[in-house]
Amino acid sequence: MWITLLRAKLHRATVTDANIQYTGSISIDTNLLETSGMMAYEKVLVVDVENGQRFETYIIPAKAGSGAIQVNGAAARLVSIGDHVIIMAFAGVELPAPSDWKPRVVLLDAANHPTGLAAEDPGED
């Protein structure tokens, strides 16, 4: 049996742009992809902290160092520039899951610069 576990998370990224005319996806600064371990074309779940909207899409890389978090296509209607989003990537893991499984959680400031890493803990916020 397989289960799906959180693998990586960008916590409280700030939406820098929303482009309804783009063909779809979420553009993420390449440096943030490297720091989080996420990769181009990976499926992600995005949650908007301000309005509660949730949607799935895939990642396309944005210019390194740009701080870009750009929501594209139809999903651009679900966010506003300046909203905070949580971007999560998952992995299928065969049971029994490793007892030491820990997702890579990257904490971000208002300019989408990493401020540190956090262990995902259900009691933490």
Predicted confidence (pLDDT) per residue in 3-42, tens digit: 999 999 999 999 999 999 998 799 999 999 999 999 999 9
What digits encode the pLDDT tens for the residues 57-82? 999 999 999 999 999 999 999 999 99
The C-alpha atoms of residue 75 and residue 25 are separated, in whole angstroms, by 8
Q: List residues with catalytic annotation.
A: 25, 58
Query: How many CA atoms does the CB half-sphere of 5 hold within 13 Å?
Result: 17
pLDDT above 60 for 122: no
8 Å CB contact between 57 and 27: no
pLDDT band at 121 (very low <50, low <70, confident <90, very high): low
Burial 28-65 (b: 16+ CB within 10 A, else e): bbbbbbebbebeeeeebebebeeeeeebebebbbbeee
- Give me the pLDDT at residue 75, please: 96
- Give me the pLDDT at residue 58, please: 97
Q: Which residue has the tokens 């750009």?
A: 70
Classified as helix, coil or strand, 113 is coil
The C-alpha atoms of residue 46 and residue 55 are separated, in whole angstroms, by 5
* Nearest to 36, CA basis, from 10, 67, 56: 10
pLDDT above 80 for 125: no
